[in-house]
Structure 1
Amino acid sequence: MSKTTSVTARIEPELKENVEVIFDRLGLTTAQAITLFFRQVEMYKGLPFAVRVFSAETIAALEESENYQALPAYANVDDLFAALES
């Protein structure tokens, strides 16, 4: 019996490159990362993270947070809390 098997998947090239940079920083090969994911699925008996659909409000907030330069700045914590209360 073979000790390994192959997994073939079609992935967008840019996504693959971006993720492999992260794997490299973590000291993982792509094969090791896939094995780690499979082990987690096996251990959790499902996906090892929550899968959900975000509401339109959440998506808008996430998009707004990506443009952090446009977010208001506050001189101190009191000013921040005052703005949050209004």
Structure 2
Amino acid sequence: MKTAAGHSRIDPETKQKAETILNRLGMSPTEAIRMFYTQITLRNGLPFSVEIPNEETERALQDSRSGHNLERFESADDLIDSWK
């Protein structure tokens, strides 16, 4: 089988984190990229949903990034109890 090379630029932190996860999965970056491209061709598009967040979600993301309007809990049980 012939192969073609592809090149991309990815920030080093993202690359390192992704490759750590791939290593835990027993996959090389090349195998992951091949799988991604195969899924694109099989689905005739990206193999996951890509959407622009609505206003409420965007506000929640901004709050999360800035540390505003956040509730903190000592445990997962405390979080679940707050839903009651």
Q: C-alpha separation between the residues in 2 aligned to 1:80 and 1:37?
A: 38
Structure-1 separation of matches of 2:39 and 2:80:
43
Report how many aligned residue pairs link the two structures.
Answer: 77
Distance 1:76 1:54, change over 3 A: closer
> TM-score scaled by structure 1?
0.69
RMSD: 2.6
Q: Which residue number in structure 2 is paired with residue 71 of structure 1?
A: 71
Structure 1 pair 44–72 and aligned structure 2 pair: CA distance change class (3 A): same
The 1:59/1:4 distance shift into structure 2, 3 A limit, reads: same
Q: How many angstroms apart in 2 are the aligned matches of 1:38 and 1:51? A: 16
Match of 1:53 in 2: 52
Runs of 4+ in 1 over 2 A off after TM superposition: 59-67, 70-77
- The 1:80–1:20 alpha-carbon spacing in structure 2 relative to 1, beyond 3 Å, is same
Query: TM-score, normalised on structure 2?
Result: 0.71
Q: Percent identity?
A: 34
Task: Give the gaps of 5 or more residues in structure 2.
Answer: none
Q: Any idea what the Cα deviations from partners look like across 1:30-76, whole Å, max 9, x if unmatched? A: 00000000010011011010111112311333465687xx5266597
Report the 3-state secondary structure (helix = DSSP H, G, I; strand = E; otherwise coil) of the residue aligned with 2:48.
Answer: coil
Does 1:80 pair with 2:79? no
Larger Rg: 1
